[in-house]
């Protein structure tokens, strides 16, 4: 896979995109990365990329010409990129989106700044992505989040193929189960004994039940689309009702009854 970004702060990508798992994946040729500077497509002495909004209002907007020219150039070489624009007005980014994007050959991530981008440029977007219901200063952080989430799904990027499949939102669409490492007892808190038992079937069953419990407690909105058995769905209904009743009494439910 090739990932490219188009922004006015290409240097922001230097450390994140070349460090840790992303850095190793790049070294191993699992993906390649390039950060393009939008100012390279300006024609004035000040390398201007913004202008005042028609109709007045605070702040500046990214003007269309440099963005359109950059997209013309970048799209004219290599395989056609899947073009993503970052904006709070986009579709919320999820693990499902990351999984879908991991199947693309080339991603071109367009990062806004200032008060955003002239609306006409969005005609060039294959999709608009939002990181969430808040406003960032620019799209660079959003691009790094998406690149990170996508690259770690590429075959070989994590080293252990199972680790990406066994995480929150993957597989059944539940949050991940609790995890522990040594020591088995720490400051009065013990690791659940079943995890020390060596019984893999029982451990798998405990993890599944624990993931269901945690999802019901922290993200009940995920349950509707989770891949559950009839029995688990019934259990989830009970847990969510119990948590809601606990919350209504002013106390968070502390025991969801999962062994
Ligand atoms: N005026 C815009 C609005 O109210 O929707 C916000 C512009 S924001 C200050 C500048 C740029 O940051 C946006 O063009 C976008 O690229 C990026 N950005 C800000 N918040 C974002 C979010 N939640 N998700 C994705 N990108 C975001």
pLDDT at residue 166 in the model:
79
The finding on whether 156 has its CB within 6 A of some atom of ligand 1 is no
Planar angle of CA 179, 181, 185, nearest 5 degrees:
105
Least confident of 26-30, 51-55, 98-102, 244-248: 244-248
User: Is the per-residue pLDDT at 252 higher than 60?
Assistant: no
Atom number in ligand 1 closest to CA 110: 16
Report the CATH fold assignment for 2-151: Alpha/beta knot (3.40.1280)
Determine the distance separating the centroid of ligand 1 and the alpha carbon of 143, expressed in angstroms: 12
Which SS3 state, helix, strand or coil, does residue 127 take? strand
Determine the distance separating the centroid of ligand 1 and the alpha carbon of 131, expressed in angstroms: 9
Query: Could you write out the DSSP letters of every residue in 146-203?
Result: HHHHHHTTSTTSSSSHHHHHTSTTSTTT-PPPP---S-SEETTEEPPGGGGS--HHHH
Give tens-digit pLDDT for 82-111: 999 999 999 999 999 999 999 999 999 999
Domain segments of the chain as ranges: 2-151, 185-255
**Cβ–Cβ under 8 Å, residues 97 and 131:** no
CB atoms near residue 187 (< 10 Å)? 5
Atom number in ligand 1 closest to CA 133: 23
Atom number in ligand 1 closest to CA 89: 5
pLDDT at residue 204 in the model:
97
Determine the distance separating the centroid of ligand 1 and the alpha carbon of 90, expressed in angstroms: 9
Determine the distance separating the centroid of ligand 1 and the alpha carbon of 200, expressed in angstroms: 46
CB atoms near residue 121 (< 10 Å)? 21
Question: pTM here?
Answer: 0.92
pLDDT at residue 258 in the model:
45
Q: Regarding the domain with residue range 185-255, which homologous superfamily does it belong to in the CATH classification? A: tRNA(m1g37)methyltransferase, domain 2 (1.10.1270.20)
User: Is the per-residue pLDDT at 255 higher than 50?
Assistant: no
């Amino acid at each position: 896979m090739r990932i490219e970004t188009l922004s006015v702060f290409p240097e922001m990508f230097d450390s994140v995109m070349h460090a840790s798992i992303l850095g190793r994946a790049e070294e191993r040729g699992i993906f390649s990365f390039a950060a393009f500077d939008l100012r390279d497509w300006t024609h004035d002495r000040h390398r201007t990329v913004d202008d005042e909004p028609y109709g007045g209002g605070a702040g500046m907007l990214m003007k269309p010409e440099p963005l359109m020219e950059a997209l013309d150039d970048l799209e004219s070489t290599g395989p056609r990129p899947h073009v993503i624009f970052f904006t709070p007005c986009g579709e919320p980014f999820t693990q499902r989106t990351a999984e879908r994007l991991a199947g693309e050959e080339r991603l071109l991530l367009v990062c806004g700044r200032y008060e955003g981008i002239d609306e006409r440029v969005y005609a060039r977007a294959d999709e608009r992505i939002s990181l969430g219901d808040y406003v960032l200063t620019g799209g660079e952080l959003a691009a790094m989040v998406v690149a990170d989430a996508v690259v770690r799904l590429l075959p070989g990027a994590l080293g252990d193929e199972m680790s990406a499949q066994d995480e929150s939102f993957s597989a059944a669409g539940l949050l991940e189960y609790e995890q522990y490492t040594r020591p088995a007892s720490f400051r009065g808190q013990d690791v659940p004994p079943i995890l020390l038992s060596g019984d893999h079937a029982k451990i798998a069953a405990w993890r599944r039940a624990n993931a269901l419990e945690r999802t019901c407690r922290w993200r009940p909105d995920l349950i509707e689309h989770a891949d559950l058995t009839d029995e688990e769905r019934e259990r989830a209904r009970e847990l969510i009702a119990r948590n809601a009743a606990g919350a209504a009494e002013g106390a968070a439910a502390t025991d969801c009854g999962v062994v």
